Amino acid sequence: MEHIRAINDLVVRFANVNGTGSASANNMFAKAIFRMGIPVSPKNIFPSNIQGLPTWYEVRISEKGYLGRREGVDLMVCVNPQSMARDVESVKPGGYFVYDNTKKLHSEFIREDIHYIGIPMTAITMKHYSDPRQRQLFKNVIYVGALSALLDIEMDVLKGLIEGQFQRKQKLIAPNFKALELGESYVKEHFQYPLDIRLERRDNVGDQILIDGNTAVALGAVYGGATVAAWYPITPSTSIVGAFEKYANRLRKDPETGKSRYAIVQAEDELAAMGMVIGATWNGARAFTTTSGPGVSLMSEFLGLAYFAEIPAVLVNVQRGGPSTGMPTRTQQPDLISSAYASHGDTRHVLLFPSTPKECFDFTAQAFDLADRLQTPIILMSDLDLGMNDHVSPPFEWDDGRQYDLGKVLSAEDLENIEQFGRYLDVDGDGIPYRTIPGTHPTKGSFFTRGTSKDEYARYTENGAAYVRNVDRLLKKWETAKKHVPAPELYQQENSNDYGLIFFGTTTYAALEAMEVLGEKGIKLDALRLRAFPFNETVREFIADHKQVFVVEQNRDAQLRSILINELDLYPRQLIPILNYDGQPITADTIEQLILSHYPQEKKHDDIHQTQVPAS
């Protein structure tokens, strides 16, 4: 049998049944490893179902800090008979299969090349707990206890987590401790422990935090000054407004009256949600909505209005998989084109691409400034993987001296001092006009906001020349936007290789790992991470500097590649698509294999010889 030996470099997968309380035990497992100073990356793989169907929780543990998904399970904890055949199959040769052996394992699940560790979880709970719900819940804690012995997870860390979790329900601490110990002692009595794959405390996470992107977005909205949230529930965006409510409720109540300094409206649909955002921002508040692909389709009409009438709006699109209802609980990056050009006519929207929770926080707060500054919708492009899974992230920071940039808004005093107010006049030459908020001045500054074409003074017109002036100014504003949006990140001082790599969002984790692995094989690439659309000059230069550029993204149609070709007027062959769209987060291995399959054979060879010689 193959033998795996690994310290702090493994993938552990849990197979559970939806709705059985496994989530909190599985989170405890990941968090304990994080607290042992070892980077972890947990992923929920769940069905669109409330109770009964199989769900998985996969934790990649990597002391090197590789946090993308990796194929191949080193240790599987299977407490779901429904999925057992698949689960046995997914274990790497030499890996471990932990299961409930209260009932004997059927022979069809026996593989010669993996190790089996049977723990009578059901029997133990039957013996020690009487309440049926408790029996179900503690079964989960028992397997965590067993893993603590098998993998060398520090028991004190686990107990500390339980104490933290049940601060307000002290009664539950003792029975949880007991469940941990039951699992631990069973392993200690029956098996050799720890296994050859195991953990060791490190100091590799520093002051980082473990948090999901949706919570980070919610906090960004609280800090960024959002007062109106209008939304319609849709996976995987739903938890954002929940978290916004939780923190706003804690941090945004008027101390004297207890009244709210925010309003949350669960709209009747996404059209209305977007309408409410536009109404609120038109009236000078900061407002946002959250949704996923289907919601963006519905919001398109309003996005066009906000673009054309120049009204700020913040939209968070937590992307999921596929067209139509698609794969609601799977991840992809499939809404690039539909978001960038949402709505009819010549429209285009600013997109932000966060790749960590820290960026979710920063970009959300910044999105409100950008929306006000540019007077246009700003779409934050998150995805299910980033939004719903915990990620190791730098801690969030806030400069207390920071002021909100409310953009070009005229006060009553300003209005007194100007000759004639023209809502759509390009006074500063940057394409961004001045606006007024209703109620500002008794006789000056009122105007009619409309989705029809208008002249510089907001008067309805179908005059062709006036229309052209207006939409050309919008293009000028688009140019201005390039200076305001987050710049791309480069991973080298200078572009020095023939081939480049472009990626964005959650693809980053796997892309960086793939780069390192390829580098070790002598294939060196320059890399650029996009953080926003429109693209600035750095992106154009990066592509121009390379013979060919691999564009990594998680959709079928290579949407980012199309946008790059169109916007930067590129020769299509220059951009090679590297795609993954099965709904699972892309892996480094996939990227590596796909790049290798496109990389010229001699080149591969050449590069190996050239490693000492700097490329020209």
Site map 353..392 versus other proteins, x via CB under 8 A = ----------------------------------------
Q: Which of 116, 166, 396, 478 binds other proteins (CB under 8 A)?
A: 396
By CB under 8 A, tell whether 197 contacts other proteins: no
Q: Which amino acid is at 488?
A: P
Give 532's strand partners: 352
Smaller CB separation from other proteins, 83 or 300: 300
Which residue do the tokens 């600013």 mark?
350
142 to each of 74, 99, 164, 458, 505, how far by Cα in Å? Answer: 20, 12, 18, 68, 36
By CB under 8 A, tell whether 219 contacts other proteins: yes
In sequence order, which ranges of 36-117 are alpha helices (DSSP H)?
84-89
> How is residue 111 annotated by DSSP?
-
Least distance from other proteins to the Cβ atom of residue 346, Å: 17
> How is residue 454 annotated by DSSP?
B
By CB under 8 A, tell whether 222 contacts other proteins: yes
Other CB atoms within 10 A of residue 441 CB: 17
Q: Which of 190, 411, 418, 460 binds other proteins (CB under 8 A)?
A: 460
By CB under 8 A, tell whether 459 contacts other proteins: yes
By CB under 8 A, tell whether 447 contacts other proteins: yes
Structure tokens given for 163: 């104490």
- Applying the rule CB under 8 A, the residues between 35 and 94 that interact with other proteins are 35
- Applying the rule CB under 8 A, the residues between 492 and 551 that interact with other proteins are none
Smaller CB separation from other proteins, 399 or 520: 399
73 to each of 10, 146, 488, 541, 569, how far by Cα in Å? Answer: 8, 18, 34, 41, 43
Task: Return the H-helix or E-strand segment holding 174.
Answer: helix 173-190
Q: What radius of gyration, in Å, describes the C-alpha atoms of the chain?
A: 27
Least distance from other proteins to the Cβ atom of residue 165, Å: 12
By CB under 8 A, tell whether 257 contacts other proteins: yes
Q: Which of 111, 188, 441, 521 binds other proteins (CB under 8 A)?
A: 441
Of 54-62, 377-385, 459-467, 489-497: span binding other proteins (CB under 8 A): 459-467
Of 15-23, 177-185, 437-445, 605-613: span binding other proteins (CB under 8 A): 437-445
By CB under 8 A, tell whether 399 contacts other proteins: yes
Task: Return the H-helix or E-strand segment holding 179.
Answer: helix 173-190
CA distance 84 to 438: 62
Least distance from other proteins to the Cβ atom of residue 357, Å: 9
Least distance from other proteins to the Cβ atom of residue 304, Å: 8
Terminal Cα distance for the chain, rounded: 48
By CB under 8 A, tell whether 575 contacts other proteins: no
Smaller CB separation from other proteins, 171 or 259: 259
Of 138-146, 208-216, 487-495, 537-545: span binding other proteins (CB under 8 A): 208-216
CA distance 46 to 60: 17
Number of residues that bind other proteins (CB under 8 A): 76
CA distance 145 to 68: 26
Close Cβ partners of 388 (under 8 Å, ≥ 6 residues apart): 44, 212, 213, 214, 236, 239, 318
Cα dihedral 7, 8, 14, 19 in deg (nearest 10): 150
By CB under 8 A, tell whether 132 contacts other proteins: no
Other CB atoms within 10 A of residue 94 CB: 16
Of 108-116, 131-139, 186-194, 283-291: span binding other proteins (CB under 8 A): 283-291
Of 105-113, 232-240, 263-271, 600-608: span binding other proteins (CB under 8 A): 263-271
By CB under 8 A, tell whether 491 contacts other proteins: no
Least distance from other proteins to the Cβ atom of residue 216, Å: 9
Region class of 452: left (phi > 0), else alpha (psi between -120 and 50), else beta: beta
Least distance from other proteins to the Cβ atom of residue 123, Å: 36
CA distance 297 to 320: 13
Other CB atoms within 10 A of residue 207 CB: 6
Q: Is 118 exposed, middle or buried (0-12, 13-18, 19+ CB in 10 A)?
A: middle
Smaller CB separation from other proteins, 262 or 550: 262
Q: Which of 6, 123, 173, 263 binds other proteins (CB under 8 A)?
A: 263
Least distance from other proteins to the Cβ atom of residue 565, Å: 32
- Applying the rule CB under 8 A, the residues between 237 and 256 that interact with other proteins are 247, 251-252, 254
Smaller CB separation from other proteins, 4 or 303: 303
Least distance from other proteins to the Cβ atom of residue 410, Å: 13
By CB under 8 A, tell whether 347 contacts other proteins: no
Smaller CB separation from other proteins, 51 or 167: 167
By CB under 8 A, tell whether 299 contacts other proteins: no
